[in-house]
Amino acid sequence: MTRRDFDPAEVLPDGRPAASARLFDPAGGGPWRGVVEGAALAGPVTVLAYGTDQPGEGPPWHVHPYDETFVVLEGRARFFVGEAVIEAAAGSVLLGPRGVPHRFENLGPGRLQTLDIHHAPRWIQTNL
């Protein structure tokens, strides 16, 4: 598919170099696999990796002052976002709007692995 959504001549580079950081060690344990804050890459988003093999487990109720996008990479999850309950499987993408408390849990069987994109250069969270 050929796309031409904008004219590249109208978007000038801002001088930032390409950057990289390690999100997690694949051999590491625990559900919170890692975080790369956008500030470390001079970028506008922070990325977290979360994974658990235990059905029913997941992060506690919490809230952010910015949007969060969840990408389910593996397994099945139940998301609680404000009053909404959404079941999602590998390949699903969900939005947690800023200021709306949320959490999710592994529905099993097997591993739940998510990539959580925080729309801010640093991770800011209040657990409820």
Give the pLDDT confidence score for residue 77 in this predicted structure: 98
> Going edge to edge, which strands form the sheet with 126-127?
84-89, 76-81, 102-106, 62-63, 126-127
**Residue in 127, 125, 80 with CA at minimum distance from that of residue 107:** 80
State the Cα–Cα distance between residues 98 and 115, nearest whole angstrom: 17
Per-position DSSP letters for 10-40, written without gaps between them: G----SPPP-------TT--SSEEEEE-GGG
- pLDDT 10s per residue in the chain (128 long)? 889 898 989 999 999 999 999 998 888 877 878 899 999 999 999 999 999 999 999 999 999 999 999 999 999 999 999 999 999 999 999 999 999 999 999 999 999 999 999 999 999 999 99
Q: Domain 47-128 class? A: mainly beta
Domain parsing of the chain, residue ranges = 47-128
